[in-house]
Amino acid sequence: MDYFAHPTAVIDQPCVIGPGTKIWHFAHICAGAKIGARCGFGQNTMVAGDAVVGDNVKVQNNVAIYGGTTLENDVFLGPSCVLTNVTNPRSQVNRHSLYERTLIRRGATLGANSTIVCGVTLGRYCFIAAGTVVTKDVPDYALMVGVPARQQGWMSRHGHRLAPGPDGTLRCPESGFRYELTPSGGLRCLDIDEETPLPPELAVGKKVYDEFKPA
């Protein structure tokens, strides 16, 4: 066993858990779950049998990852955020074979207490603000806020709001990476491919969020 599980965690077999993953107090991993390497599962988390979790996924306390959910690498699930898998649940109607798919793409962040109504795709590095309720697909890098979620702008891969500079590009104040709007109205990074991991020197924060805000 090359992962860590606290003695109070329940790990049902068979399941796949990658090396370096840490599973903390009172977590429950169901049989059939597939979990990648270097993930963290906080207190009172649950992973269902047909959920798929990539590498380096961080799951804060009190989060249930239900069947039908796929989390790509580097996803962050904030404390007590809520995923769902049936749009119209009724206790009298068994829909166990009808779970709706939710895909959370690489590097996405879900803020504390946000809710994702099932059947949507959350784009790469999108940022869902605390308490937001998402009901539709979300573009890469979009900052989504409120109930229901509305796009308030763009967040960089390092989690900073992006505004266009004089040359039309948007620059992250932390990494210096440049971004540009695409003809289809999306955003892409000019300096690092969305599927490439961050270099180690850019993977440790040195200043808090407000210190990067424009005066």
Which residues contact ligand COA (rule: CB under 6 A)? 78, 111-112, 129-131, 145-146, 161
- Side-chain half-sphere CA neighbours of 37 within 13 A: 3
Of all residues in this chain, which one has the CB nearest to ligand COA in the complex? 111
DSSP 164: B
Distance CA 2, CA 117 (A): 34
145/181 with CB nearer ligand COA = 145
Closest contact distance (angstroms) between CB of 124 and ligand COA is 17
CB of 42 to ligand COA, least distance (A): 11
Q: What is the largest CA-CA distance in the chain?
A: 59
Q: How far is the CB of 155 from ligand COA (least distance, A)?
A: 7
Nearer to ligand COA, 77 or 189 (CB): 77
Of 50, 100, 58, which Cα lies nearest the Cα of 76?
A: 58
- Nearest approach, Cβ of 60 to ligand COA (angstroms)? 6
Minimum CB–partner distance for residue 111 and ligand COA (Å): 3
Mind spelling out the 3-state secondary structure of 48-92?
CCCCEECCCCEECCCCEECCCEEECCCCEECCCCEECCCCCCCCC
By C-beta, is 99 or 177 nearer to ligand COA?
177
Q: Which of 26, 65, 71, 72 is nearest to 49 (CA)?
A: 65
